[in-house]
A and B are shown apart, each in its own frame.
Chain A
C-alpha cells in the first residue's frame, strides 16, 4: 500500500492506483469526462487536472493518468489546477450548444454540472459553433453530435469494452465524429449504455425523450427481472408511468452496465391493456369483489371435488414474496402446487443447479471476469442472459480462453471456440473435458465425471479431440470456470458441470461454477417447488377431470402463442392474478389485477443464489398520459388514483388463504432453511448471498442418455432471443424493431436430407400442437437438431419443453406456400 495526501487527507491505496481513484476513496470526486472506472484512463479530456505539490513531477498533472507514489502530495483545489480546469470547460463549451432547455440530458449532465460548478458562465469565444449531422441510430438511442465533447467514452465502451464493431470515430481535429459507418440501428444489445456513459447529451434515451427532467422523476433502486442475472437498475417514473431505466452500479453483479432488454423492457408496466380492475365472467368489477368471488368459487370447487381439484400455478417472474404466499396458500388449503415450471425437465435442471451451487463453487459475474478459462455448456449468453456475454468479454480481453458447447448458433462479441453439439452430447462433452482436465489418474484423487460410460460413439472423434484439448488447457489455467445453462439441457448435464467445477477446484485454483437459469426468480422457484411442480405434469390431471379449477398467479405457463393450452379450456374455473394481459388473463373467469415490481418491489434470487431486493418506484395507477388523453393536468379531481386499485399478489393470495402476512419477508424464513436470513430486518445493499451449504450435493450417477438415432430422430431445441422471447420485455414496442425474424433452424446437412431450403415454410408436429415457421439453414447449428425461436409468431409452447426429441417424420415442408 502506498500512502499519499490528497487535499490534506491521508489515504493508502495499492500501487498502480491512479490519483483520481485514490481521491474517490476519500470521497473527493475530481472532475472527469473521459475517465470512467470501467473504461480506464486515456487522458483525453484534461478536466481531471490537479496540482501535484510533492511527487516525481510537480505542477499540473492529469489525475487519471498519474500513478500514486508514496509520499505524494496532491491538491485538487489549487488555484492553478482550478484555473486550468475552468479553461478546459470554456474550450469544450466553445462548440457545445447552449440548448440545455431542450436537451434531455439537462439535469443529469456531467458537462452541465462541471460548467456550472466550475464557474464558466460567460461566452468569450468570438467564433461560430461547429455543427454536425446526426445519425438515425434506431429506436432506442437519440444521436445529437453537436453536443459532443469528444471524451471517446462511447467508442471505448462500444468497441473495446463491449466488442461490437459498428460505432466508431471518424474525421480529425475539431471535426472528430462519433457514429456509425452508415445510419442505422446500433447492433449491440448493450448500446443503451451509451446513454449512461456519455457525459453530455450526444446519446440520449429515445423512448423517454422529453418525458421529464431527472428531478421530476420518482426514482428508486431496483433489480432487473428480464433474466436470471439480477442486474441492478435505477427506475424512474413520472405521472404514473415508468419512464426510464438506467444501470445502477453493482460491484459484484453488473458493474456499471445493463443490457437493452433490461433497459427498455419495462413497457408492460405502462401498457394500456394492462389489467387495472377486477373482472368476473367478463364483467368489470372492483378488485375486492373479484377477489371475494374468486375465494368463494375456489372454495366451492375445493369443497365439492376435494382440495385436490384446485391447482395453483405461478412462475419464475414473481417475487419471492409472491412465490412464498402461493406456496403457503397451497399448504393451507391443501390445493395442488405450486406448479412453477413449464415442464419437468426444466424443473429438474434448475432444481439440480440450485442444489449444486455450493458456496465455494459459485462465482459472481465480477469474479467470472477474472477467469482465464471458461467452458460454456448449453447456454447462449447474448440471448439468455445478455450481461453474461459482457462479463465473458472482459475475461477474454484479459486473455481468457473461452469455449462454448451448444447446439445453437451461438454468437458472442469476441473470439471463442464453438462446438455445435446436440443436447444429448453435452453431458458427455463435459465428461471428456473433465477427464482431460483432471490429467492422468492419481491415487487418492477422486475421478471426475462420476460414471464409467464410454464417450458416445455418435460424437465425432474430432469433437472429442477438441474437448480433450480444452480440458488440457483448463488444467494449466489458474481459474477455470464452467458456465452452464438450464433451458435446453437436462439435470444430468447440470450435475456434471457442477462435479467438474468441483474437480477443477483446489486450494490454489479458485475454479468456479456459474449457472444461467430461466427467469428472474428461477432460483427461488427451485427452492419452493419439487420436481412435480411442472405444468405439464398438471396437464394430465386437468385432462382426466381431476383438476377442476386453476389459480394462475403471474404465470405465463399456459400461454400457447395467442391461444390457451387446450387443457385449460376444459376447466370449470380459471382464476388469474396478474399485472399482464396474458392469454390466460383474457380467458379467466375471474381476473384479479396485481401490482408489478415497480409498484410493489420484491425480492428476487439471482442465479448465484443472491437474494436482492427491488424497491417500489411509485404507487402506480393508470398513467396520466392515458387517463388524460394527452391533456394535463387532469380536469376532474378525485381523491383516489385512477387504476391503482390493484393489490399486491401477496395481499391477494393471503386473502385467498384467509391469513394476513404482517411481515412478508420474515414469513419467508419459514418456507425454506436457506431463507432464514429473511427473518432478520437487516438488508445488505448488495443483496443477501444465501447459505446453500445445507443442500446436499447431488449424485452424478445418472442413467445414460438414450442415444439419438442419426437421421431418424431430431432434438428440438427452443431458442430464446435477446429480444422477443422473454415474457415481459417482448411487450415493449420500442424493442420490436430489434427482434430478429423468428426462424426454424437446421444444419445444412440435415436440411439437404430433409429437403428443406432456407426460406421454406416448415411445420413441426409436436405433442402440444404444430409449430409452423420459416426455415433457416446454418452450419453453426448442431447436426441432428431443429431449433425453434421462442417468439410470439411461432407456436413454440407446442414443443412442451426447452429440449424434446422428435422423429424425422414430424418435420414437414409445407409445399408451395408462396405459390399458393
Chain B
C-alpha cells in the first residue's frame, strides 16, 4: 500500500486535474517510485485512484518504456542502442555492460543493484555512446568510464 500521505497528495493532484485519466502516467510513476516497479497491487491502486479499471491501467502501463511491470534493481540502466551510440562504440555498449554485470538484457544482478535494459535514442548523440542510470545521462562512455561509474554506484550500494 502507498503511504497515506503520498496517497493523499496524489488524490489531491487527481482532484485538481481537469480529467483524472490524464495523470495515469504520473500516478504509475509515483507507485513505481514507492514499490520499485509497478506491481499488480499498484495496478489496482492506480485503478482505484483514477477511477479506471485494472485492465485500462495495464493497457497503458505495458505500453511505456519507463514503466516497469516487473521487478527491477535499485539502478535501472537504460543503454542507448540507437544508431549514433552503436556507431560510436567500439563494442556494443549493451554487450559490454552484460559482461561487466554478468547478466543478460532485461535481467537484474543477483545483489538487486542493477537492471539492464536497452533503450532507443536518448537524445545524447552529442555525447555518444551514452546511457541513462535512473534517468541520469552518462556519456561519452568508454569501458573504463563504465567501470568507474559501476564501481561508484556499487559503493553507494
State if A and B touch, Cβ cutoff 8 Å.
yes
Give chain A's interface residues, CB within 8 Å of chain B: 165-172, 177, 180-182
A720 to chain B, nearest CB (A): 27
Identify 18 new A-B residue pairs, CB closer than 8 A, beyond the known A165-B53, A169-B59. A165-B55, A165-B56, A166-B55, A167-B55, A168-B55, A168-B56, A168-B58, A170-B59, A170-B63, A171-B62, A171-B63, A172-B63, A177-B62, A180-B55, A181-B43, A181-B55, A181-B58, A182-B40
Question: Residues of B contacting A168 with CB < 8 Å?
Answer: 55-56, 58-59
Question: Residues of B contacting A181 with CB < 8 Å?
Answer: 43, 54-55, 58
Q: Which 10 A-B pairs have the closest CB atoms?
A: A168-B55, A170-B62, A165-B53, A181-B54, A181-B55, A168-B59, A171-B62, A181-B58, A172-B63, A170-B58
Question: Residues of A contacting B55 with CB < 8 Å?
Answer: 165-168, 180-181
A-B contact pairs, 15 of them (CB 8 A): A165-B56, A166-B53, A166-B55, A167-B55, A168-B55, A168-B56, A168-B58, A168-B59, A171-B63, A172-B63, A177-B62, A180-B55, A181-B43, A181-B55, A182-B40
Question: Residues of B contacting A170 with CB < 8 Å?
Answer: 58-59, 62-63
> Which residues 22-54 in B have Cβ within 8 Å of A in the complex?
40, 43, 53-54
Chain B interface secondary structure, helix, strand, loop or mixed?
helix
Question: Residues of A contacting B59 with CB < 8 Å?
Answer: 168-170
Question: Residues of A contacting B40 with CB < 8 Å?
Answer: 182
Question: Which residue in chain A gives the minimum CB-CB distance to B69?
Answer: A170
Question: Residues of A contacting B56 with CB < 8 Å?
Answer: 165, 168
A165 to chain B, nearest CB (A): 4
Question: Which residue in chain B gives the minimum CB-CB distance to A173?
Answer: B63
Question: Residues of B contacting A171 with CB < 8 Å?
Answer: 62-63
- How far is B54's CA from A167's CA once the two chains are assembled, in angstroms? 10
Question: Residues of B contacting A177 with CB < 8 Å?
Answer: 62
Give chain B's interface residues, CB within 8 Å of chain A: 40, 43, 53-56, 58-59, 62-63
A44 to chain B, nearest CB (A): 16
- How far is B58's CA from A172's CA once the two chains are assembled, in angstroms? 12
Question: Which residue in chain B gives the minimum CB-CB distance to A167?
Answer: B55
Question: Residues of A contacting B62 with CB < 8 Å?
Answer: 170-172, 177
- How far is B58's CA from A171's CA once the two chains are assembled, in angstroms? 9
- How far is B53's CA from A183's CA once the two chains are assembled, in angstroms? 15
B21 to chain A, nearest CB (A): 14
Question: Which residue in chain A gives the minimum CB-CB distance to B64?
Answer: A172
B24 to chain A, nearest CB (A): 14
Question: Which residue in chain B gives the minimum CB-CB distance to A175?
Answer: B62
- How far is B56's CA from A540's CA once the two chains are assembled, in angstroms? 58
Question: Residues of A contacting B54 with CB < 8 Å?
Answer: 181
- How far is B59's CA from A353's CA once the two chains are assembled, in angstroms? 46
B50 to chain A, nearest CB (A): 14
Question: Residues of A contacting B53 with CB < 8 Å?
Answer: 165-166
- How far is B62's CA from A177's CA once the two chains are assembled, in angstroms? 10
- How far is B19's CA from A12's CA once the two chains are assembled, in angstroms? 44
B5 to chain A, nearest CB (A): 28
Question: Which residue in chain B gives the minimum CB-CB distance to A155?
Answer: B59
Question: Residues of B contacting A182 with CB < 8 Å?
Answer: 40
- How far is B63's CA from A725's CA once the two chains are assembled, in angstroms? 42
- How far is B59's CA from A165's CA once the two chains are assembled, in angstroms? 12
- How far is B53's CA from A168's CA once the two chains are assembled, in angstroms? 10
- How far is B63's CA from A170's CA once the two chains are assembled, in angstroms? 7
- How far is B69's CA from A181's CA once the two chains are assembled, in angstroms? 12
A184 to chain B, nearest CB (A): 12
Question: Which residue in chain A gives the minimum CB-CB distance to B43?
Answer: A181
Question: Residues of A contacting B43 with CB < 8 Å?
Answer: 181
Question: Which residue in chain B gives the minimum CB-CB distance to A166?
Answer: B55
Question: Residues of A contacting B58 with CB < 8 Å?
Answer: 168, 170, 181
Question: Residues of B contacting A180 with CB < 8 Å?
Answer: 55
Question: Which residue in chain B gives the minimum CB-CB distance to A168?
Answer: B55
- How far is B61's CA from A170's CA once the two chains are assembled, in angstroms? 8
Identify the interface centre among A166, A177, A180, A181: most chain B CB within 10 Å of its CB. Answer: A181
Question: Which residue in chain B gives the minimum CB-CB distance to A165?
Answer: B53
- How far is B60's CA from A169's CA once the two chains are assembled, in angstroms? 9
- How far is B25's CA from A206's CA once the two chains are assembled, in angstroms? 37
B90 to chain A, nearest CB (A): 28
A138 to chain B, nearest CB (A): 16
- How far is B56's CA from A606's CA once the two chains are assembled, in angstroms? 38
- How far is B58's CA from A166's CA once the two chains are assembled, in angstroms? 11
Question: Which residue in chain A gives the minimum CB-CB distance to B53?
Answer: A165
- How far is B54's CA from A181's CA once the two chains are assembled, in angstroms? 7
Question: Residues of B contacting A169 with CB < 8 Å?
Answer: 59
- How far is B40's CA from A180's CA once the two chains are assembled, in angstroms? 13
A178 to chain B, nearest CB (A): 10
Question: Which residue in chain A gives the minimum CB-CB distance to B61?
Answer: A170
Identify the interface centre among A166, A170, A180: most chain B CB within 10 Å of its CB. Answer: A170
- How far is B63's CA from A181's CA once the two chains are assembled, in angstroms? 14
Identify the interface centre among B53, B55, B62, B63: most chain A CB within 10 Å of its CB. Answer: B55
- How far is B56's CA from A177's CA once the two chains are assembled, in angstroms? 13
A410 to chain B, nearest CB (A): 20
Question: Which residue in chain A gives the minimum CB-CB distance to B65?
Answer: A172
- How far is B131's CA from A391's CA once the two chains are assembled, in angstroms? 54
- How far is B54's CA from A180's CA once the two chains are assembled, in angstroms? 10
- How far is B65's CA from A172's CA once the two chains are assembled, in angstroms? 10
Question: Residues of B contacting A166 with CB < 8 Å?
Answer: 53, 55
- How far is B55's CA from A167's CA once the two chains are assembled, in angstroms? 7
- How far is B56's CA from A127's CA once the two chains are assembled, in angstroms? 32
- How far is B56's CA from A181's CA once the two chains are assembled, in angstroms? 9
A175 to chain B, nearest CB (A): 9
